[in-house]
Structure 1
């Protein structure tokens, strides 16, 4: 399934407009070119290797909890997703 998933920014490379994000133990490099300003510690909605939207930590937690209640495994989905 191809879902947009919340992840936390753990590092940023402004020259390449990329960031490393984490969802649980899974880390990925993504593009942040579509967002104006992001900081380490921000939560973003990630889809096909791009940060689409900034989320509050509470919204990210709620989204992940709802996915788990529905029987999804967000970390596994994130690990299988593609990069830009």
Structure 2
């Protein structure tokens, strides 16, 4: 199962404006935000992430609701978090 998971932008890399560091349920990772070039996210914004790419901006309330739902899914959420924690985008 493929899931989109919410993450909060911590910083946009100054030398790579297409990359940002995000915080997702205790995991910090670098993701690609290039798909959102028309409305680029900035620190404090929430994004929906799939396979290391930010697909859309979402608000904090929606992010919290999605995280609650994903946690209820159990192993699908755990598998997605494991995949995120092992991803390396540089």
Please, what TM-score do these two structures have when normalized by structure 2? 0.78
> Which residues of structure 1 form unaligned runs of 5+?
none
Across the aligned residues of Structure 1 and Structure 2, the Cα RMSD in angstroms comes to 2.0
More helix by share: 2
Change (3 A) 1:46 1:29: same
Spell out, residue by residue over 1:7-27, the C-alpha distance to the aligned partner (whole angstroms, 9 max, x if none): 000010254210000112101
Report if aligned partners of 1:26, 1:75 keep a CA contact under 8 Å in 2: no
Give the distance between the partners of 1:20 and 1:13, measured in 2 at CA.
7
Q: Which runs of 5+ in 2 are unaligned?
A: none
- Matched with 1:52 is 55
**Alignment partner, residue 66 of structure 1:** 69
TM-score by length of 1: 0.83
Query: Quick check: 1:12–1:40 contact (8 Å CA) kept in 2?
Result: yes
Partner residue of 2:7?
Answer: 7
Paired position in structure 2 for 1:25: 26
Work out the CA distance in 1 between the residues paired with 2:78 and 2:21.
15
Instruction: Give the number of equivalent residue pairs.
Output: 84
